[in-house]
């Protein structure tokens, strides 16, 4: 059996300060967002679109936990992400979606439909 974290070691070696980079990007984005919200206050109350509002929540609010899935499941998810989810967001002018937003939405969907999660687990066990 192979180590499920093998691919993580390669990613870590390529970019050792990923978390630092993300925090820097987030800080820059938050500062820019603060300026924009001050401008909005000055010009009156203007509702922003999802494309203008930035990520739904800050990186600080994230609790990282590993998700373990089969390769074909990840591949199918990533394909749907590229072919359905991202284009749907792009139609709403959201082109800067964050991975944490997608993962959060997936978990919220699972929370809304727990019976379906149980069904899928049972189906997988019956197939084996």
Confidence at residue 61, expressed as pLDDT on a 0 to 100 scale? 80
Per-residue pLDDT tens for 11-38? 545 544 444 444 444 444 444 444 444 4
Confidence at residue 7, expressed as pLDDT on a 0 to 100 scale? 58
Which residue in 3, 1, 5, 2 sits closest to 67, CA to CA?
5
* Residue 34: CB atoms within 10 Å: 10
Q: What angle do CA 34, 88, 93 make, to 5 degrees?
A: 35
Confidence at residue 2, expressed as pLDDT on a 0 to 100 scale? 60
- Sign of the C-alpha dihedral computed for residues 47, 94, 67 and 27 taken in this order: negative
- Below-70 pLDDT ranges, the chain: 1-46
Q: Which two three-digit tokens encode residue 87?
A: 């284009």
Confidence at residue 64, expressed as pLDDT on a 0 to 100 scale? 87
Confidence at residue 45, expressed as pLDDT on a 0 to 100 scale? 55
pTM: 0.57
């Amino acid at each position: 059996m192979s180590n499920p974290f093998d691919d993580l070691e390669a990613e870590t070696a390529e970019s050792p300060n990923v978390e630092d980079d993300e925090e820097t990007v987030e800080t820059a984005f938050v500062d820019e967002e603060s300026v924009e919200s001050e401008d909005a206050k000055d010009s009156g109350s203007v509702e922003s679109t999802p494309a203008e509002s930035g990520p739904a929540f800050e990186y600080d609010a994230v609790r990282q936990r590993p998700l373990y899935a089969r390769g074909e499941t990840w591949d199918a998810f990533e394909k749907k992400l590229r072919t359905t989810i991202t284009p749907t967001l792009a139609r709403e002018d959201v082109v800067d979606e964050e991975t944490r937003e997608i993962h959060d939405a997936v978990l919220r969907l699972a929370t809304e439909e727990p019976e379906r999660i149980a069904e899928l687990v049972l189906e997988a066990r019956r197939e084996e």
